[in-house]
Amino acid sequence: MRRSRALWAGITAVVFAVIPLLTRDTFALRVVTEAMMWIGLAVAWDVLGGYTGYLNFGHGAFFGLGAYTTAVLMMRGHWPFALALAAGGVLAGAAAVVAGLPTLRLKGAYFAIATWALARAVQQLALVLEFTGGPDGMRLPPFLNPQFFYYLMWALVSVIFVVLWILLEHSAFGLKLQAIREDEEGAMALGLKPTTIKIQAFVLSTVPAGILGGVYAYWITFIDPASVLGDLVTDQSVVMAVFGGLGTLVGPAVGAVLIYAFKTFFWAYLSEYQVLYLIILGTVIALSVVFLPDGLIGLLTGRGRAEAPRSPEPADENPPELREAAP
Amino acid sequence: MRRVVAFTLCAVLGTSPAWAQADRNYFKVGVITSLSGDLATGGNVTKRGYDLWAKAVNEAGGIEVNGKRYPVKLYYADAQSEPSQGASGAERLATQQEVDFVLGPYSSGVTLAVAPVLEKYKIPMITGSAESPLIWRQKFAYTFGTIPPVNYTGSQPVGALAGLAPKPRTAIVLGSNDAFSKATAEAFKTAAEAHGIKVLKFNIVPSGQDLIPLLSAAKVLRPDVIAFGGHDEELINLVKALRQINYTPKALLMHYGVTEPAFVEALGKDAEEVFGASVWTPTLPTRGDLLWADARAYAEAAQKEYGVPADYTQAGCSAAGIAFQAAAARAGVTPPLDEGEKRALRDALEALDIETFYGRIDFADRGEFYHANTGLEALTVQIQGRRPVITAPAEFAEAPARYPTTPWNDRR
Amino acid sequence: MLWQLLPQAVLDGLLIGGVYITVALGFSLAFGVKHIIDFAVGEWIMLGAFLGYYLQGWTGLDPLLLLPVVFAVFTAVGYAIQPVIHRAVSGRRGNPVLMGLVFTFGLMLAIRGAGLTVFGFFSHSIPSVMSARSWFLEAGGLFVTVPAIRLVGFVYAIGITAVLHWVLRHTDFGLAVRALAQNRDAAGLMGINARRISSWVYGIHVGVSAMTGVVIGSIFSISAQMGGDYTILAFFVVVLAGMGYLAGVPWAAFLLGLVQSLFLVYGNPSYTLLAVFAILYLILLVSPRGLFAKGV
Amino acid sequence: MSRELLAVDQVSMIFGGLRALDDVSFSVGSGEIVGLIGPNGAGKTTLFNVVSGYCRPSRGRVRFDGKDVTGQRPFHLARLGIARTFQIVKPFAGLTVLENVTVACLLHHPRRRHARQKAWEILEFTGLAERAGRPASGLTLAGRKRLEIAKALSLNPRLLLLDEVVAGLNPTEADRTIELILNIHRSGVSILIVEHIMRVIMNISDRVAVLNYGAKIAEGPPQQVAQDPGVIEAYLGEAAA
């Protein structure tokens, strides 16, 4: 099973590598480039959301932070793109430490709200600062080479995927995250430092978002607080990961491809029904929580069925949070 | 999952049809606008403007070039209020549909992302609604706009207010922190200072902020004018807040938002006598050679087609089509346009100077308004009898400005 | 000059805070009892506001008289939806709190989409006779203007808080709710029907939020996209108060209102929201369980 | 008594107004099995929480192997060699039995592969090997309690705190668990065990300490404690209530 998965991953990667050689269609390249960006974002979100059980509702803030850092350094500091991009990733990771310190000590509920607020705080910051261009945003020098961005995105997303695959599925780190997700108190008894590990996971989740944001900025050539610091990135990453399957790497990737394909199709052919999109997106996410708690991937791999009922007691009442609240 | 990937790949790659281009006898026109997302309201207004133009042109047989008529066919791309989707849409229109020219996005953000893509493919674009001064500072060779930027339109009403008696001496200028509103507020401020009105307070505030503490503090300064840059919801909130603290300035000035029906609908008598800026109203005396003879004719056609009154955004969008129509005729280009013909079309646009139902269209070919339409006269409007009425400049004025504004409590 | 503005700024801050109380009250109750973070709280406010708007249009009555109707309708809606939420949070995947978050997040998107479809994109206002009134008070060189509609909103908020407080403290239902919040198992032993009580709690949350929408529509404006702004307000207040700690809500709301008001008058208005965020961050850093360290 | 491994010195724990532990002192010697008994609410679990670092005592000190470890966090104590089980067993439900134990083995075997090898050994030792691939959530109560022990054991502890690992099991399961505990003890691990079932405590403990209302009321060899009038009264009192 493992080997065949690796094989298929390899084949997928090779297919993606040759696409630009097969087509001269720059629009198709653009679509696939963006799809890959969403794969990277959804998978990165899942490091914290799925593996660690902390829902980051401010994923877009880190994406935007990367985008702005790259843009500011390139435009005001005249840094080369590659360096500015790396700086964007580093800054996104540093922001995760700052944001995580007060919030990751707490229960997931606080974290979810705090990250949501953080996203708005970062957006406000970009709106009032001078060097970010305020509400007017920033333009970057157009470098309109679709192949370049395609390969860059492909390489970055592949690296992100492989690194996460190794760290989460084949090294101790992933296991630690899952242990903390399942029972933080119990994990402490086994020598794990939850807050430290959670902050590491947060950084691991936000650095890719920051880097992808930087690529986005250079690719699209224009960023402003509404487009890179709005709700879109967060909303879509969450939906893609939940729909695809939390706590896996393949799940969010599949979710990203399907939802992005749906979105592209929807807006290419059904744009008269505009706002239905939100309704469909919302309904899909709400229903998948109820009927597909393991996401699409749970359905495909049968993971959902193999798992025995969670506990002999009625799964019903008493969330763990409540029980832990008692001293 | 593999099958899914494969399927998606095929679906994506399979959508690159080879269009028979040889002897096309109609124009392919790309339309990029935001039909969904935050900007969908405005985006759909622009779509109406573009659609109405296409319908009228085709009813007349098409665009007349060298005595022959070529119909137009519109190809849409929904920017979804996202710059990236706008750029993506532009790429599709340029490479798959191979459009001859493009009618542009609603917002300046999307325009700024779309313009470089079209630059690359050398496809001329006219936006009928983006009005941020930023666009024109970028000096895109192929991007034009029919609506003058806000710093061009925003100063006219301030000047008009300064000419009223008794002359307003002091003003408070507030703006919401988004690109359009901030530029509007800055234009108001600059113009006020130029006309000798003292600006007591100038603040840019976060969008959606409850302004009552700020207005309470401002009330103490007793400003003659309160000028505010914002969008519909914020305009309504501002008027309601002033109403709540019961302060009536001599003049309350906003931008185009007051001309939207929603403004009057929401505020009723409190909307009366609020000043605004515009470049076009259905009653503007204009004279057009192409499609519609004057503003009234256009307004009637729009009302008939959509059942709602046309605003200046919609008119600006229809006018963008007319600009292309006129430029194509002058350049003598026929579909499909090759690169040289697109360049000729662009040059013709730059040289264009025509009268339309919308007013004069004359794109600047240099300066800070590069490729924005500077042929128009900015208008001062005031809500009178539940509709926007032109009060300045004098040659277009329908009625004198009501000034100073009737106190809130004295209205019927 | 500056100090003269102080009474007005403080009053405005308190009046703003008053509105925030009811934005956050139902949300805090739902969290305290059901541990549901309701991402859709702003959307309930939006839906309530539009129901008030249309009812006002049809009946011509003052929106403030329509509050009970809106409350009744949306309490029923909340009561009916709770079983679905319950099902979402008690699925096989552990972590009910997070599943509830994701579920209400989906609900939020769907309601917003539906709102945009049905109500369109334009802004409206709910006219009330009170929005045209105000009182000017002056004493000893100090003066304040009291906008009537805002005072109504303030009184409404205090009233709802008082009623809720009374119900929780002095009725059998309130006892059951408190028992449920303390300990579900024990509550079950005491013969309390946890599901029915939960449904009522969520119903009350939705009902109060929707009613608040009408008050907000009378003070400000309403649009199908307004929800997000109020969701974040609710989050702010509840985190400041300590999650699930109902008694902290009014104080947190007032603090938030005062910070905004004072900052708008005495600070740089551009940074108002940033100041609010900074304060929230600092408080979380120092006292993670809210102002009173009483959060769950 | 052999060399002192754990020393609890005049520890008090106050929650609000409630005195959960009142000036409790006792010790566990190296190689000893010490039983901790007392009626419900006597403070046994609280004492466990203090010793394993989940609660910081209001007063008093805890020493482990001669070092003061009062108030140290659980993960530090785990590193020092204190392992515990939980009365309410909560395995990492989404993980398999093997993964559960592997997490614990990571403490001394930082590489996932090595930890997994070690985990297999522990599973063999604890008799869980044939259930290794199953989700932990699917285990029976006995299996879960055993898993708790396996995880604690994986930390290579010098002191093992067992919180009611026998209660609730049927006699056969109980006997097997007792045997496992004795095996662990034989491998050189000191044990502090809380148990409700007298038979277990009396059979395996070298020494027994008795808590009642947060205070230690007796300590000594099992037989001696069983005859202590204060202890009998405490238990009778509970039975009568």
What pLDDT, in 10s, does the model give residues B357-368? 999 999 999 988
Half-sphere exposure of B215 (CA within 13 A, CB side): 27
Residue the block writes with tokens 């403030």: C64
Query: Which residues on C lie below 8 Å from B206 (Cβ)?
Result: 270, 272-273
Task: Sheet with B198-205: list strands edge to edge.
Answer: B198-205, B170-176, B225-229, B251-253, B275-278, B379-384, B387-392
Question: Which tokens in the block code for residue B274?
Answer: 């609020």
- The answer to whether residues A218 and A235 touch, using CB atoms and an 8 Å cutoff, is no
Give the pLDDT score at A98.
92
Query: Which residues on A lie below 8 Å from C179 (Cβ)?
Result: none
Q: Give dist(CA C35, CA C89) in Å, integer.
A: 10
Judge whether residue C5 has pLDDT over 60. Answer: yes
Number of CB atoms found within 10 A of residue C293's CB = 12
Percent of all residues in chain A with a pLDDT value above 70, rounded to a whole number: 88
Q: Give dist(CA B256, CA B275) in Å, integer.
A: 9
Say whether both B222 and B309 belong to one domain: no
* Domain-located, residue C296: no
* Strand partners of residue B127: B145
- C145: Cα separation from own chain's centroid: 25
Q: Which residue of C has its CA nearest to A277?
A: C113
Give the pLDDT score at B6.
41
Give the pLDDT score at C184.
63
* Of residues C203 and A239, more confidently modeled: C203
Judge whether residue A53 has pLDDT over 80. Answer: yes
* Domain-located, residue C291: no
Answer whether A touches C (≥3 Cβ pairs < 8 Å).
Answer: yes
* Strand partners of residue B33: B78
Domain total of chain B: 2
Residue C194 pLDDT grade (very low, low, confident, very high; cuts 50, 70, 90): confident
- A250: Cα separation from own chain's centroid: 13
Say whether both B258 and B399 belong to one domain: yes
Residue B64 touches partner C, C-beta closer than 8 Å: no
**A145 contacts: CB under 8 Å, gap ≥ 6:** none
Give the pLDDT score at B190.
95
* Domain-located, residue C294: no
- The answer to whether residues C202 and C217 touch, using CB atoms and an 8 Å cutoff, is no
Any idea what the Cα angle at residue D69 is, between residues D65 and D75, rounded to 5°? Answer: 105
Query: Which residues on C lie below 8 Å from A105 (Cβ)?
Result: 288
Q: Which of C127, C200, C194, C190 is nearest to C167 (CA)?
A: C200
Judge whether residue A309 has pLDDT over 50. Answer: no
Exposed/middle/buried for B320, CB within 10 Å: 0-12, 13-18, 19+?
buried
- The answer to whether residues B406 and B272 touch, using CB atoms and an 8 Å cutoff, is yes
* Strand partners of residue B76: B31
DSSP three-state, residue B189: helix
A107-116, A284-293, B4-13, D9-18: range with lowest mean pLDDT: B4-13
Domain total of chain C: 1
- Give the mean pLDDT of chain D: 89
A235·C109 Cβ contact <8 A: yes
Give the pLDDT score at D38.
87
- CATH code, domain carrying C129: 1.10.3470
Question: Which tokens in the block code for residue A34?
Answer: 């963006």
Q: Which of B109, B75, B105 is nearest to B92 (CA)?
A: B75
Give the pLDDT score at A326.
32
* Domain-located, residue C260: yes
- C288: Cα separation from own chain's centroid: 21
Say whether both B405 and B269 belong to one domain: yes
* Domain-located, residue C292: no
DSSP three-state, residue B73: strand
Furthest C-alpha separation in chain D: 55
C150·B40 Cβ contact <8 A: no
Half-sphere exposure of A62 (CA within 13 A, CB side): 35
The C-alpha of B14 sits at a distance from chain A's nearest C-alpha, in angstroms, of 9
C260·B41 Cβ contact <8 A: no
Residue A272 pLDDT grade (very low, low, confident, very high; cuts 50, 70, 90): low
- The answer to whether residues D62 and D82 touch, using CB atoms and an 8 Å cutoff, is no
**C117 contacts: CB under 8 Å, gap ≥ 6:** A275, A276, A279
* Domain-located, residue C158: yes
Give the pLDDT score at B326.
95
Residue D108 pLDDT grade (very low, low, confident, very high; cuts 50, 70, 90): very high
Judge whether residue C192 has pLDDT over 80. Answer: no
Give the pLDDT score at B168.
95
Whole-angstrom CA distances from C117 to A279, B15, B266, B392 are: 9, 30, 19, 38
- B144 phi, psi to nearest 5 deg: -130, 165
Exposed/middle/buried for A102, CB within 10 Å: 0-12, 13-18, 19+?
buried
Give the pLDDT score at D19.
85
Give the pLDDT score at C22.
92
Topology of the domain comprising A2-303 = ABC transporter involved in vitamin B12 uptake, BtuC (1.10.3470)
- Give the mean pLDDT of chain C: 88
Residue D241 pLDDT grade (very low, low, confident, very high; cuts 50, 70, 90): very low
Average pLDDT by stretches of 10, chain B with 412 residues: 42 42 83 82 89 96 93 90 91 90 91 94 92 89 93 90 94 93 94 95 92 91 95 91 93 91 90 94 90 94 90 93 95 92 96 95 92 92 93 92 92 80
Residue A305 pLDDT grade (very low, low, confident, very high; cuts 50, 70, 90): very low
Residue the block writes with tokens 């919401």: B176
- CATH code, domain carrying B182: 3.40.50.2300
Give the pLDDT score at C93.
59
Residue D40 pLDDT grade (very low, low, confident, very high; cuts 50, 70, 90): confident
Judge whether residue A166 has pLDDT over 70. Answer: yes
Q: What pTM value is reported for the model? A: 0.90
Residue A271 pLDDT grade (very low, low, confident, very high; cuts 50, 70, 90): low
Residue A231 pLDDT grade (very low, low, confident, very high; cuts 50, 70, 90): confident
* Domain-located, residue C295: no
Residue A35 pLDDT grade (very low, low, confident, very high; cuts 50, 70, 90): very high
Q: Mean pLDDT throughout A193-213?
A: 96
CATH number of D4-91+145-240: 3.40.50.300
Strand B170-176 and strand D33-37: pairing? unpaired
Say whether both B384 and B249 belong to one domain: yes
User: Which 8-state DSSP code applies to residue B405?
Assistant: P
Query: Which residues on C lie below 8 Å from B177 (Cβ)?
Result: 270
The C-alpha of B91 sits at a distance from chain A's nearest C-alpha, in angstroms, of 5
Give first-to-last CA distance, chain D, whole Å. 37
Model pLDDT for residues C147-172, shown as the tens digit of each residue: 999 999 999 999 999 999 999 999 98
Q: Give dist(CA A223, CA B216) in Å, integer.
A: 36
Domain ranges for chain D, please list them.
4-91+145-240, 94-138
C221·B209 Cβ contact <8 A: no
- The answer to whether residues D163 and D86 touch, using CB atoms and an 8 Å cutoff, is yes
Supply the range of the domain harboring residue B225: 152-282+378-410
* Of residues A290 and B55, more confidently modeled: B55
A260-274, C1-15, C237-251: range with lowest mean pLDDT: A260-274
DSSP three-state, residue D72: coil
Supply the range of the domain harboring residue C278: 2-286
Say whether both B233 and B254 belong to one domain: yes
* Domain-located, residue B12: no
Any idea what the Cα angle at residue A218 is, between residues A216 and A223, rounded to 5°? Answer: 70
Give the pLDDT score at B212.
92
SS3 for chain A is: CHHHHHHHHHHHHHHHHHHHHHCCCHHHHHHHHHHHHHHHHHHHHHHHHHHHCCCCCCHHHHHHHHHHHHHHHHHCCCCCHHHHHHHHHHHHHHHHHHHHHHHCCCCHHHHHHHHHHHHHHHHHHHHHCCCCCHHHCEECCCCCCHHHHHHHHHHHHHHHHHHHHHHHHCCHHHHHHHHHHHCHHHHHHCCCCHHHHHHHHHHHHHHHHHHHHHHHHHHHCEECHHHHCCCHHHHHHHHHHHHHCCCCCHHHHHHHHHHHHHHHHHHHHCHHHCCHHHHHHHHHHHHHHHHCCCHHHHHHHCHHHHCCCCCCCCCCCCCHHHHHHCC
Q: How many helices (H) and strands (E) does chain D have?
A: 9, 10
* Domain-located, residue B267: yes
B381-385, C41-45, C96-100: range with lowest mean pLDDT: C96-100
- Give the mean pLDDT of chain A: 85
Size of interface A-D (CB pairs under 8 A): 100
Give the pLDDT score at B239.
95
